Amino acid sequence: MDTAVVGSRPPASILTDAGRRQRPSQTEAEAAVRTLIEWAGDDPDREGLIGTPERVARAYEEFFAGYHEDPVALLATTFEETAAYDEMIVLRDIRLESHCEHHIVPILGKAHIGYLPAGRVVGISKLARLVEVFAKRMQIQEALTSQIADTIQEVLGPRGVGVVIEAAHQCMTTRGIRKSGVSMVTSRMLGSFRADPTTRQEFLAMIGSPRSSSNGS
């Protein structure tokens, strides 16, 4: 499987521009939603839409909560007393919900993570949370895949990391070309997962070997 490194961003990219720019107020966010409703051709003051700007602003806080969390801090607590366990650890079928940065519509799918520990392991729930933190940002799937793998490599220092994401993009299924039933598969292999075909194949076999992948360099 080709590795996807296209659009890779620094894994611990602080908290993006949100930490450096002044965040618009709740009132400003709601006013922006009102404008979009009017632009779409409806009346934001009619009964069914009166509370919509507030609800949308609250929903966006949930959708994009990842901007306010530090992915590196999530992996800070590790376990070193692992009885010298050095075999592959795999967490598969992690539900993933993100948003395309080009149209801000949902990306829905699942992520698979594997790594070969080098003396330190992390709680499995932390890996799932890491996926969620990066997914709750405006993304392209290639970057999301790389961010997850690069952060695990940077913080845990394992002998190798593999991340595969399979997802459907509603910017493709609900608009534009409108092709349903299409999923995109991206992967990022580091260390022994990239250098050793046997390790890579073991990982792919454990997660069910997705049928295709994105191209990367």
Of 69, 101, 154, 202, the active-site residue reads 101
| Distance, CA of 188 to CA of 1 (rounded, Å) | 9
102 is catalytic: yes
103 is catalytic: yes
Could you tell me which residues come within 8 angstroms of residue 40 by beta carbon, excluding any fewer than 6 positions away? none
In 3D, which of 99, 172, 89, 171 has the Cα closest to residue 132? Answer: 99
141 is catalytic: yes
169 is catalytic: yes
In 3D, which of 174, 216, 145 has the Cα closest to residue 1? Answer: 216
Could you tell me which residues come within 8 angstroms of residue 24 by beta carbon, excluding any fewer than 6 positions away? 32
26 is catalytic: no
Of 68, 97, 103, 154, the active-site residue reads 103
Of 26, 61, 102, 201, the active-site residue reads 102
Of 30, 99, 132, 141, the active-site residue reads 141
Supply φ then ψ for residue 204, to 5 degrees: -65, -35
DSSP structure string for 67-117: GGS-HHHHT--EE--STT--S-EEEEEEEEEEEETTT--EEEEEEEEEEE-
Of 30, 99, 100, 166, the active-site residue reads 100
Torsion from C-alpha of 91, 101, 1, 195, nearest 10 degrees = -80
Of 54, 68, 97, 171, the active-site residue reads 171
Residues 130 and 74 sit within 8 Å (Cβ to Cβ): yes
Catalytic residues: 100-103, 141, 169, 171
